Structures are given as C-alpha cells and as structure tokens.
Amino acid sequence: MPLVSRIIFFLLKTHHHQIAANRVMRTTLIPLRKHLRSALQQQKELLGYNLAALQFIKRKNDADRIAQFYEEEEMDEEKVKARLAEPKKRKRVALAT
C-alpha cells in the first residue's frame, strides 16, 4: 500500500496542471481519493495497534530484567536501574589500510 500511495502522489504532483485543467480527470479521481484515504486509515490503525503492542512488550521486558537483577544480586532499585542504563562497551578495532 505505501508504494501505491507514493506512485499516485508522484503522478499527481507531476501532472497536477493537466489534471486540474481537465474536468473529466478530476471526476474520475474522486473515487480513487476516497478509496486511498480509507486504505491509508486502515494502515494507520494497524500501525498504531502494533506500536502499542511493541511498547507493552518493551515495558514487560524491562520489568523482567529488573526482577532478574533483584533475584541475582542483593541490590536496591537505584543500583539496578543504573546498571541497566549503562551502555554496553564496544571494542575498538584497528583497520589495516
């Protein structure tokens, strides 16, 4: 669906003056516009639903990780959050040129 939308918008931008000057083209584009809007609305709702699910999974994962640290080590909440927030250290690799 996103590819179809991009193609339609490109064609409309490219041929805007010809379409606006021709009444027959405008009347045929009205049903296309209605269909495209409804299809994009469905895509938007689906994306919002998936985003909410991903946020829920992230919160659950964070809670599980914190609980795991509490069980493994006798730490208080501030220490656990600080340990989780610290970035993972990356090794630097020297590239031979």
Give pLDDT tens digits for 72-96: 666 677 776 777 777 766 666 666 6
- DSSP three-state, residue 46: helix
* Domain enclosing residue 80, as ranges: 2-85
In a domain, 53, yes or no: yes
In a domain, 45, yes or no: yes
In a domain, 31, yes or no: yes
Encode pLDDT of 26-43 as tens digits: 888 888 888 888 988 888
Going by C-alpha positions, the residue among 53, 55, 74 that lies closest to residue 63 is 55
- DSSP three-state, residue 75: coil
In a domain, 8, yes or no: yes
In a domain, 34, yes or no: yes
pTM, rounded to two decimals = 0.44
In a domain, 46, yes or no: yes
Task: At 85, list the tokens.
Answer: 């927030």
Q: Which residue spans within the chain are E strands per DSSP? A: none
Task: At 22, list the tokens.
Answer: 């021709």
In a domain, 90, yes or no: no
Count up the domains in the chain and report the number. Answer: 1
In a domain, 73, yes or no: yes
